[in-house]
Homo-oligomer: A and B are copies of this chain.
Amino acid sequence: MVMSTAWQVVEYPDGEVLGEQFALTEMELPDVADGHVLVRNTWTSVDPGLRLRLRPSAPSGYFAAFPLRRPMDGILTVGVIEQSRAEGFPVGSCVWHSYGWRSHAVVDPGKAAMNGLASLRVLDLKRAPAQAYLGPLGGMGLTAYAGLHVIDALDGAGTLWVSAAAGAVGSLVCQIAKFSGLRVVASAGTDEKVAWLRNDIGVDAAFNWRAGPLEESLRAVAPEGLDFYFDNVGGTHLEAALEAMNNNGRVSLCGSISDYEREAVGPRNLFLATSKNLTLRGFRGSAHAPLLDIMQERLAPWLADGRLAYRESIYEGLESAPAALADMMAGRTVGKTMIRI
């Protein structure tokens, strides 16, 4: 019998995420049935989207809310197979699956994954290190790629604004867009992140959104107006984008982290979408799973030869997971936040 250490939610946060809202528990795993595997998890993911599930019910269409005092299902995780009764999944191979925030999991590869991505999948470690599959070659890369795809920016021309651009998704968006030939302007919330965007990510312009009114900052970096906006923030960021968009501009609605810990405020100037013929496309990366292979083929060589700048905020030990989530929500992490178990 194998035991697993696993995080449970004991209380939904009312505002900020705090460590005491979670409890680290021991759970007994079922025996490995025919067709199943036992995985020892080595890396697990910390995403802004988890915050949306720390509620009695998650937004419609989104991943399910985490029930209280139950293991948290549906979090992308990388691990090594320790026992296998499933063909094509040999012991010792590195895989991803969706039973994260715990030390071990018994996985049924035939069970439909809740997030479209996280069926058990063997990872090619010759192509990239294991944890890259939680970042550029995983959900982050897919979200970045799909978000540019749905607004036809991959084959487009013009100026793109990326908000929360030093984040795991944002920094990939900036780079994919640059490689695709767009002019990219980026924003972040600290001067250090802005410097990284300018110097390492290679955006055309970057600014700290806390330094002044967004409308003025945007006019300064993109006097030609915006043709595309990749929204990771929502709220006043989205309003500023609508103001700055050129006619026929397109907006990718990826996330609105500014709203996750308080009551959302809708864009008061949404009528500009009508007057300027704008398109706003909401999307979840996992709804575009067929793009995964294309994305990996495109990004893996850039990652291998060092052209793709990529940062990780790695927290050591499963016990650090809630603190990592709290730090990420507060903007204290850079790049992809993950836990080394």
Asked if A277 and B283 make an inter-chain contact with CB atoms under 8 angstroms apart, the answer reads: yes
Is A287 an interface position by the 8 A CB rule? Answer: yes
A276 within 8 A of B: yes
From 52 to 72 in chain A, residues with beta carbon under 8 angstroms from any chain B beta carbon are 52, 58-62
Q: What string of 1s and 0s marks CB contacts (under 8 Å) between A81-118 and chain B? A: 00000000000000000000000000000000000000
- In this complex, the member of A58, A263, A267 whose beta carbon has the largest number of chain B beta carbons within 10 angstroms is A267
Query: Restricting to A253-279, which residues have a CB under 8 Å from any CB of B?
Result: 253-256, 259, 263-279
The answer to the question of A280 belonging to the interface, with a C-beta cut-off of 8 Å to chain B, is: yes
Which B residues are CB-close (under 8 A) to A59?
269, 271-272, 274-275
Pick the contact of A282: B255, B259, B272 (CB < 8 A). B272
Residues of B within 8 A of A149 (CB): none
Name the one of B62, B234, B254, B266 contacting A265, with C-beta atoms under 8 angstroms.
Answer: B266
A247 at the interface (CB under 8 A from B): yes
| Distance A145 CA – B308 CA, assembled complex (angstroms) | 45
Task: Assess whether A281 is in contact with B279, with CB atoms less than 8 Å apart.
Answer: yes
Taking the closest CB of chain B, its distance from the CB of A224, in whole angstroms, is 15
Specify which chain B residues have a CB less than 8 angstroms from the CB of A281 in the assembled complex: 273, 278-280
A2 and B60 alpha carbons, distance in the complex (Å): 63
Q: Which A residues contact B (CB, under 8 angstroms)?
A: 52, 58-62, 234, 238-239, 243, 247-248, 253-256, 259, 263-284, 287
Q: List 21 A-B contacts (CB under 8 A).
A: A52-B271, A58-B275, A59-B272, A59-B274, A61-B272, A234-B271, A247-B287, A248-B287, A253-B270, A263-B268, A265-B268, A266-B267, A266-B268, A266-B269, A266-B270, A274-B282, A274-B284, A277-B284, A278-B281, A279-B281, A280-B281
